[in-house]
Structure 1
Amino acid sequence: MSDARLEHWNHYPMGPQLRHYLGVTDEEYTGDHSPRPDERAVAAFRDFLVQVVREKPASDQDQFVDLLEEMTSMGLSSVVVSMAEQHSQFAIDTDFRACLALGSALMMESELDEAAVVMNQAKALAPMELAPYVNLASIAFSQERDSDALKFIDSGLGIDANNFRLWELIASIYLHEEARTAGERLRLKATEVNSFAGLSLAAEIMDPNDRLLKAELLEEAFNAGIRDDDFLIEYTAALGAAQQFEKIPQLVYRIEHIEKKKVHWKLYAHAAQAFLALNKEAEAATLISKASRSPDMPANVLQDLQNVYDEQSQAHH
């Protein structure tokens, strides 16, 4: 590969595997500081890579799969398909990561029948991985094979009952079948598989303006024993939107002191906001202090909370 052709791309944002394959050294590479490439630059880079892939085979199976994955995540789907065609010496159908990357690239290229074949291979290789089910459900849905889509969705929900993409697909199918009953059907389905993501979406479809409904449906999930952080954050946010402020600190107290679980900083923050809404500044201060001890709490979020606290404290004294 001529260096002159390559020099032109040292500034293009790309992952480490692709840089290594192209022979761009860390010293030469400036892509981390480059602006996001426009459509013309993307198209030109894609054309350049298709040429390179024809001339320069990947060194081994590992590099081949790493490149398929990285280029898929970069959105270079046509290059991924081309690379798979050029490298028949490497296995795809026995390598889960290769199947997933190629299948995703084929979906981006709207080659849905081929994508389904490869995604089915991925599913057979790793039956407990969620991604193939989500992708197969999406393919079936876009081909208007709703009953097939629902089968893949059910399998996927068995792995992760709160995958939002799967719930969006179910909602789309139910809305298409009969809009009037879609929200209630979704609520029943979500209750059946004990899913807060499903209940949350059901509330939005049943009545997007009814803040109380969402809080009530999520309360069912709380009473059914769901306790993951994502759920508790969503539920306390829904309680706040429904102006049921007094319930939020009670919930956080229960998680921390009665159930003895670690409390996510967002829960402390939601409870502090609730206390501020109830004009209980001293209680809010305690929780702001607890939230601030989390290394994950972004400084700007802490600052915003502190500002609201300071304003209210001054107003009341």
Structure 2
Amino acid sequence: MCQGKMTSGNDSSVTEFILLGLTQQPELQLPLFFLFLGIYVVSVVGNLGLMALIGLNPHLHTPMYYFLFNLSFTDLCYSSVIIPKMLPSFVKQNIISYAECMTQLFFFCFFVIDECYILTSMAYDRYVAICKPLLYRVTMSPQLCFMMTVSVYTMGFVGAMAHAGSMLRLTFCDGSIINHYMCDIPPLLKLSCTSTSINELVVFIVVGVNVIVPSLTVFISYTVILFNISCMRSTEGRSKAFSTCSSHIIAVSLFFGASAFMYLKPSPVGSLDEDKVFTIFYTIVGPMMNPFIYSLRNKDVHIALRKTLKKRVVT
């Protein structure tokens, strides 16, 4: 099973991996290929469309849409890191080199951690907007938004370096077949013939910090937000405030729920096939759904879309 060159002693180091993909059932391969190709197209068009809409409409140049722009950018990037390399596994043997595998792992970790903190930043923005509306413009200044964004990508880089760096120290000589559709941490650790205790500690610390801390921050923010909404006297005000928060709650629940189950459960619990299903929710379904979650019930986006289409028709 092991493909590679000989190193010191009797060990051999893997230079290529085979990605098994989502399923090995032949009758499902072609339908799934077109399904995930369609999902990727929708994800790219949806996220690019939302980014263009925010960029072209000055009235959307607010902190809320600034973070939404970054969320769409992150979704676009990390779905592009995964799906194009996933699709060949439905039609042929999908081989990925060691270098490509480690690169995919790095960028996957980078963009997933970015998503954690962008969702947290959006929760804080909604907290200030609803709970401290008179201080909103002062608190959510362009300088603070920029600093928060820099912090988001810095945390992503540090976390991705920790995961990729600890993975690079491992020797893979027990096999080259990855039972997954991408180079994710759990299936790679199963292939290592050296101790993975350091990697498991890195996963526990990095994932714990980047999932538990943001999810607790989001939970506390929305607990306070919902309490303030319930105290509003105006029915219209409650409805408007809740509509701006409900979409974010859905996106947060989908992302943090699936990722927490994947990486924070005890290692013996669940099979790799179950892990693949849960990974789909935050790596593939989430990036496709987010543009719709944030735009379908959003009047500002509807107005911006109508204005943009009118300008195109007139020109």
TM category (shorter chain) comes to: under 0.3
Which structure exhibits the higher relative contact order, with contacts defined as CA atoms closer than 8 Å and separated by 6 or more residues? 2
Which of the two has higher C-alpha Rg?
A: 1
With the length of structure 1 as denominator, give the TM-score of the two structures: 0.22
